[in-house]
Structure 1
């Protein structure tokens, strides 16, 4: 990481993640100012060389770059709305968790007050901050991102996604969808095998190989989705649906919860009923793209 260590940074919000962010800036040599409603959370950071600002306004004036990491977007708006903070010309990077609509609204709010605003998402646990394993996503003005990338590099692997301020939030939840789906599939398989006395540790390496193999399909399947053409090069959806039925039957026979495979098969059945049975699995993107009201 190649950081400009003379850039002063402010971190607002000192939960576990906020403290990790401030600590990474300090370790990289950046003059770091911090603020939190409960000041005792700053004690270790102050001992390590940070400056504790008495007010939000003072904290904003101290750094050329302000990182916001608070409970939610409402807390951010309440925090700045209740202070006499001057935002004109300030650079705000909001790493608070929220959704894409909130991110876009926050960008408008900040820009109306003359601030430069980037929205972001942290794809890491606090202990990983400051290492390459910590992926920090950013969206908003590319020029604002590039102007401060060398400073942000202190946090981990920083990534720019695009001008739409909502992209970081969308990538965040898309990543969570991948994580939970892989874990849920593994838990389903683990539950099945445990009925035959196979423990989770024995099954895990096999599951890893399956997950890695499926991951290799994604670029090719992505091309089908982007082109809107789904030729059955590997397997037709109607063939996959028969395998789904087998998974459901096996789960029920051995007394394992079948809700997850039933949900997947219900989506496949709707796609087949719409005439897509002869196409390949990614054609289900049409089902995933539709809201369900029932």
Structure 2
């Protein structure tokens, strides 16, 4: 596909996700320049049509839109420091992990070097980059998003600008990401319990998927309860979960599985009951998770 009328793009960082981003731009016909601390990672992309810049300064100067895919905001600033002068007048978009504070600091750093900043997050695995339903969200300079939205949509069809505050993407990245580890550890514990009976973990997959679908269907209900502060319509109460804790412990003993990771969760449920939420919806745990505002 000819790239004459397509925005040139530079991709900094060629791990599994960065490589997938660069491949998507190449396949869509965008002139693509790549750079990585380990130059050898660029070779497969060069074979597909990318230009490998030996210096990060050259990579940044090659395109009006610079997309970084490094581990953290701190890593991004460190990698780009030698190219700080070249950032002037360019659009810098970060697709990495990190805190809202890191996003704010990078926004200020970019502005100090004359760059327009857009922070983003890819909410899927590298193999899903470019798919119509792959979600990416961004926050920060809306002029960058508006100018390059068509280019950014190459990475995923579900592309959203959250707002002008540079840290919103990081806030949602971490808030949504908090779901992942507890869900995975729950599956891993279940897999160990099933294997204790001589069964394969694969036999759980169909049922676990249905369970996750059910949980997904409840999220709008719980969000409404949390936003309204009304937890009285309890389809699943705090007390119900409190009673279930004993069965979790019983199954752990029977299957010889370490379920110690559940103890803080059970404690959270007990604290909610002690705070008067026993008959309320389990979403009332949000009230226990909130810490009182500190006096200034």
* TM interval, short-chain normalised: 0.7 to 0.9
Distance apart, 1:4 and its partner CA: 9.4
TM (norm. structure 1) is 0.88
From the superposition, tell whether residues 23 and 189 of structure 1 become closer, same or farther in structure 2 (CA, over 3 Å): closer
Unpaired runs of 5+ in structure 1?
none
Find the counterpart in structure 2 of residue 9 from structure 1: 9
Query: For residues 128 and 227 of structure 2, what CA distance do their matches in structure 1 show?
Result: 34
Query: Aligned pair 1:187/2:224, yes or no?
Result: no
Query: For residues 216 and 289 of structure 2, what CA distance do their matches in structure 1 show?
Result: 19
Find the counterpart in structure 2 of residue 278 from structure 1: 279
Find the counterpart in structure 1 of residue 259 from structure 2: 258
Deviations 1:24-69 (A, max 9, x none): 1111111122223333322232333222334333322221211112
Instruction: Judge which range, 21-30 or 48-57, deviates more.
Output: 48-57
TM (norm. structure 2) is 0.87
Query: For residues 209 and 265 of structure 1, what CA distance do their matches in structure 2 show?
Result: 24
Deviations 1:101-135 (A, max 9, x none): 11111011111222110011222333332223543
Structure 2 residue matching 1:82: 3-state secondary structure: helix
Distance apart, 1:142 and its partner CA: 2.6
Find the counterpart in structure 2 of residue 110 from structure 1: 110
Find the counterpart in structure 2 of residue 150 from structure 1: 150
Distance apart, 1:140 and its partner CA: 1.1
Query: For residues 83 and 204 of structure 2, what CA distance do their matches in structure 1 show?
Result: 55
Distance apart, 1:185 and its partner CA: 1.9
Distance apart, 1:179 and its partner CA: 2.4
From the superposition, tell whether residues 52 and 143 of structure 1 become closer, same or farther in structure 2 (CA, over 3 Å): same
User: 1:108-257 to 2 correspondence within 5 Å?
Assistant: 108-157=108-157, 158-257=159-258
Distance apart, 1:234 and its partner CA: 1.3
Structure 1 residue matching 2:87: 3-state secondary structure: coil
Cα root mean square deviation, aligned? 2.4
Query: Aligned pair 1:26/2:29, yes or no?
Result: no
Moved over 6 A (4+): none
Find the counterpart in structure 2 of residue 77 from structure 1: 77
Query: For residues 66 and 259 of structure 1, what CA distance do their matches in structure 2 show?
Result: 45
Find the counterpart in structure 2 of residue 47 from structure 1: 47
Query: For residues 243 and 41 of structure 1, what CA distance do their matches in structure 2 show?
Result: 50
Query: For residues 124 and 160 of structure 1, what CA distance do their matches in structure 2 show?
Result: 17
Structure 2 residue matching 1:163: 3-state secondary structure: coil
Find the counterpart in structure 1 of residue 37 from structure 2: 37
Answer whether contact 1:7 1:151 (CA < 8 A) is retained.
Answer: yes
Distance apart, 1:15 and its partner CA: 2.6
Query: For residues 127 and 9 of structure 1, what CA distance do their matches in structure 2 show?
Result: 20
Distance apart, 1:285 and its partner CA: 0.7
Distance apart, 1:168 and its partner CA: 2.0
Unpaired runs of 5+ in structure 2?
none
How many residues align structurally? 289
From the superposition, tell whether residues 253 and 142 of structure 1 become closer, same or farther in structure 2 (CA, over 3 Å): same
